[in-house]
């Protein structure tokens, strides 16, 4: 989603150790988190790949949605509200960009598609007015928060002590997505035209995006 961004960078700054050379995808690497010393040698490569890839795609998509909303509503009274949420999403994307590099995770091949679709969704719902933009925010952020909760549950069912840092990142971002959800409701999301239908359609799209981004 200034002081918050600085605190986030300070709290989650990564220190990478010497990387073990490898020749094929899927081989484990030794990347160290600062506080716990967690490395990929101690966790599932496949699980981390899927989590980081899909979360990076989700945060990228959210950034494009807010970019589309700002293109339409940036100069209106709701512009500063959207900008504040977008700034937090930029921090989220920055963190996952760092994790992509640190863990050598490839991005989804669908990034160019999410680039266009995300912006179009943001701009299109903003053309319905403030209420339409906020309905989109509620739908998307609720979907992302639910997705993050599923990831937290999965990691807790494995060996949570090995996933401490990743769990902290996901929990923090989940809480901020829920804040955005509530902001959307506070700014009349439910007054958007055909709110229930619009929300259902957007969330169906989010579910499809999550499924595809995890796998491709």
Which residue in 148, 29, 156, 158 sits closest to 99, CA to CA?
29
Give the residue carrying structure tokens 């959207």. 82
161 assigned ligand-binding residue: no
What would the two tokens of residue 7 be?
């605190």
180 assigned ligand-binding residue: yes
Instruction: Please name the residue ranges forming H helices in the chain.
Output: 3-12, 45-73, 79-102, 111-126, 130-157, 164-186, 195-215
Give the residue carrying structure tokens 């259902």. 200
Given a contact cutoff of 8 angstroms between Cβ atoms, the answer to whether 123 and 72 are in contact is yes
Burial 26-61 (b: 16+ CB within 10 A, else e): eeebebbbeeeebbbeebbbeebbbbbbbbbbbbbb
59 assigned ligand-binding residue: yes
- Cα 135 from Cα 199, distance rounded (Å): 7
Cα diameter, the chain: 55
159 assigned ligand-binding residue: no
146 assigned ligand-binding residue: no
| Binding site as annotated, residues | 59, 89, 92, 141, 177, 180
| Binding site as annotated, residues for Fe cation | 59, 89, 92, 141, 177, 180
């Amino acid at each position: 989603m200034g002081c918050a961004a600085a605190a986030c960078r300070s709290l989650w700054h990564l220190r990478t150790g010497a990387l073990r050379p490898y020749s094929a995808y899927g081989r484990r690497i030794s990347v160290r988190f600062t506080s716990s010393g967690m490395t990929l040698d101690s966790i599932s490569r496949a699980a981390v790949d899927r989590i980081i890839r899909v979360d990076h795609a989700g945060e990228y998509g959210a950034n494009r949605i807010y970019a589309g909303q700002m293109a339409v509503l940036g100069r209106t009274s709701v512009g500063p509200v959207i900008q504040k949420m977008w700034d937090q999403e930029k921090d989220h994307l920055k963190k996952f960009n760092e994790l992509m590099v640190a863990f050598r995770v490839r991005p989804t091949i669908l990034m160019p598609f999410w680039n266009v679709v995300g912006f179009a969704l943001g701009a299109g719902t903003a053309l319905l007015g403030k209420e339409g933009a906020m309905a989109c925010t509620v739908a998307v952020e609720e979907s992302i928060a639910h997705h993050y909760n599923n990831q937290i549950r999965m990691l807790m069912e494995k060996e949570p002590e090995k996933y401490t840092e990743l769990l902290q990142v996901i929990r923090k971002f989940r809480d901020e997505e829920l804040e955005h959800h509530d902001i959307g409701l506070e700014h009349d999301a439910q007054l958007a035209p055909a709110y229930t239908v619009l929300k259902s359609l957007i969330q169906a799209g989010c579910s499809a995006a999550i499924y595809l981004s995890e796998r491709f």
